[in-house]
Amino acid sequence: MSEQNAIQTGNEGSFLEVGRDYFKRIKSGETGSLPALLGLVILATIFALANPIFLKPINFANLLTQAATVTTLAMGLTFVLLLGEIDLSAGVTAGLSAAFLAVSMASYGVPWPFAVVISLILGMFVGFMIGLLVAKVGIPSFVVTLAVFLAFQGLQLVVVGKGGLIGIEAPPILAIMNRPMPLSFGWILLLIILVIYVLTSLISRRQRSNSGQQNKPLSLVLFKAVIILVVGGALVSFLNLERGANPAVTSLKGVPYVVPIVILLLAGGTFVLNRTKFGRHVYAVGGNAEAARRAGIRVSRVRITVFMISSTFAGIAGILLASRQASVDAAAGRSIVLSAIAAAVVGGVSLFGGRGKLTDAVIGGFVIAVIDNGLGLIGLASGLNLAITGGVLLLAATADAITSRKSKTS
Amino acid sequence: MSNQTPVIELKNVKKSFGPVEVLKDVNFTVRAGEVTALVGDNGAGKSTLIKGLAGIQSYDSGTVLFDAKPVELTSPRQSSELGIDVVYQDLALCDNLDIVHNMFLGREEVNAGVLDEGHMESKAASTLTSLSVKTVKSVRQKVAKLSGGQRQTVAIARAVLWNNKVVILDEPTAALGVAQTEQVLQLVRKLADAGKAVIIISHNLQDVFAVADRIFVLYLGKMIASLKTSETNQADVVGYITGTKSQEDGA
């Protein structure tokens, strides 16, 4: 059926040509998360030179857990940003979920798995309400989520109560952010990721060749697999080094438990966005909502679902927050939403909708975490830290605006 | 071919917005294998007539016959299920998606819950090939990177891909250069030759005469003329459009 196809599919060409295409795309402005990745390397170099502690295993593990909360929130927000909407309430939703988690365990003796489910359902429900108000009533998401942002701060105060602080005691919850996995688990995790990557690539290649379509060169899959192996291997071995302050008393080595959780969310979310009908519809609604409606896509249903996803991710971020601080206070989560939006935008997710990936949010999350962590190590005043984060966000938003304008007029 | 029953037949269709009557007892017929042109000045009611067929804005009264059976068109979904597809002036394409994604928008093919990209890609490519489209290099290009003519081509190809019976083109050549207009008109002719009923709305009478078999003229909400292209000329049609001429026996 495709012998005489004059029309190409972009999958022709050798390994080198694929590489050349990639650089051509970058030149034409489709940079994705490349600037953020470069920025990450530059920042890390600066901080490493300024303070050698930056490169110590203990700080790297610290950085991972610092980044985890922002990254999780940013991944959820990416769904919303893809629609060209915004969710200012994600941070307080995280805080409220954390408060529910803490209160249900501390005051009502709910076992931790149920407490986790309760806080996630709470998150999902919040998203449903926001989605309903945005999609069905037609209130701009900025206003709805701003209202939720304000209202939930009050609600959180009520839930947390007069004490102002509720401790978390369940060991599994505390372990997420504070304990490393056994050394072998890191390697097993890497192996699983590698196998899944190769398998899904091969399956989708088979699917394509079954319908008579050409595939990208096999060497590309191999190339990416090697990169995963080398980078992942380096990270796992680094995290498996001893990083405890006093190894004789408490040994601390291994990949933190939060890492596989974030990877799972990243992989699951990416699968939904790239490989399912729903994901395609999210991009379509973000690109041109009217076109999507005319094509028969149920736009409001997509909107509501996206807000539910974002708030559920916020719920997960809340659990991470509670785990890291081992407690929940009345202001938990309030400030991180802006970092998370900054993370997504810095990573390359467009504020105008329709453009961006979850990996962008993860890379952006690391940029924000590195700024935070590195400036702290250098010993700069925290006011400067906020100012620099704001500046980086503005820079990223400027790049986003210029790229969007370019692709509209061309 | 023109003797068969019309695919679409509108009888005494009315539509008003408040006190303003936009369509007054309009009759309109569309046949398979023909290009039917709908012309008229701004505000004559062309868009309202088309929106009714697309199911975006239903008529107040009157009968709509589809394949000689009465139907009610109240949602875009219903129209598209019957096989009526509208290619809008503003194209209704998603700039951030590629050609394949756009052609299958809202009707993606899945295999075990996962998008079947390979299958969709080969179908899109063979549809474009069957329309002898030569201007599109790769079906994996983002629509944002295409020229006006290429975008129009993608929008029309989408209508073909879904095997629609009726394809409505709203000002398909309005924003195009000479060469691109020529290509799109050839594509329009090809659609009709493939047995589809094509409705084309245009202000450009040259294009209309180049491609249409029949011309319907709307004047202030009334269908004042139904003509065979071969039996009329541009001056007459201009007369009907501006209201200086009228056809006694109507449509």
B1 in a structural domain: no
B16 in a structural domain: yes
Q: How far apart are CA A283 and CA A78, in angstroms?
A: 11
- Decide if B182 contacts B124 (C-beta within 8 A): no
Of A73, A134, A65, the residue nearest A309 (C-alpha): A73
Of A82, A7, A30, A26, the residue nearest B103 (C-alpha): A7
Domains recognised in chain A with CATH numbers: 31-179+256-402 (1.10.3470)
> What separation in angstroms does the CA of B184 have from each of A148, A268, B101, B160, B177?
51, 42, 21, 14, 10
Measure B157 CA to nearest chain A CA, in Å: 14
- Decide if A40 contacts A233 (C-beta within 8 A): no
Q: How far apart are CA A128 and CA A311, in angstroms?
A: 8
Is residue A381 scored above 80 in pLDDT?
Answer: no
pLDDT above 90: percentage of residues in chain A: 52
Q: How far apart are CA B224 and CA B221, in angstroms?
A: 9
Is residue A214 scored above 80 in pLDDT?
Answer: no
pLDDT above 70: percentage of residues in chain A: 95
Please state the rounded mean pLDDT for residues A239-249. Answer: 83
Is residue A1 scored above 50 in pLDDT?
Answer: no
B172 in a structural domain: yes
Domain count, chain B: 1
Q: What is the extent of the structural domain holding B191?
A: 8-83+164-242
What was the pLDDT predicted at A266? 96
Token couple for B250: 């109507």
Give the model's confidence band at A8: pLDDT under 50 very low, under 70 low, under 90 confident, else very high: low
What was the pLDDT predicted at A360? 93
Q: How far apart are CA B71 and CA B81, in angstroms?
A: 12
pLDDT in tens, A39-88: 899 999 999 998 888 888 889 988 998 899 999 999 999 999 999 999 99
Is residue B148 scored above 60 in pLDDT?
Answer: yes
| Domain CATH for B36 | 3.40.50.300
Distance of CA A52 to the CA centre of its chain: 28
Give residue ranges of A with CB < 8 Å to any B CB: 1-2, 4-11, 204, 207-213, 275-277, 280-281, 283-284, 286-288, 290-297, 354-355, 407-408, 410
Residue A376: burial class (beta carbons within 10 Å; 0-12, 13-18, 19+): middle
Averaged pLDDT score across all residues of chain A: 88
B22 in a structural domain: yes
B37 in a structural domain: yes
Q: How far apart are CA A157 and CA A259, in angstroms?
A: 31
Q: For residue A207, list chain B residues with Cβ-Cβ distance below 8 A.
A: 111, 116-119
B68 in a structural domain: yes
| Residues 3-62 in B contacting A (C-alpha not used; CB under 8 Å) | none
What was the pLDDT predicted at B55? 85
- Candidate from B92, B94, B138 with C-beta closest to A9: B138
Q: CB of B95 within 8 Å of any CB in chain A?
A: yes
- Decide if A149 contacts A92 (C-beta within 8 A): yes
Lowest mean pLDDT, pick from A207-216, B94-103, B183-192: A207-216
**ipTM value greater than 0.95:** no
| Residues 156-215 in B contacting A (C-alpha not used; CB under 8 Å) | none
Is residue A3 scored above 50 in pLDDT?
Answer: no
pLDDT in tens, B215-249: 999 998 888 888 888 888 888 888 888 888 777 54
B102 in a structural domain: no
Of B235, B234, B237, B206, the residue nearest B219 (C-alpha): B237
Token couple for A285: 């609604």
Q: For residue B96, list chain A residues with Cβ-Cβ distance below 8 A.
A: 283, 286-288, 354-355
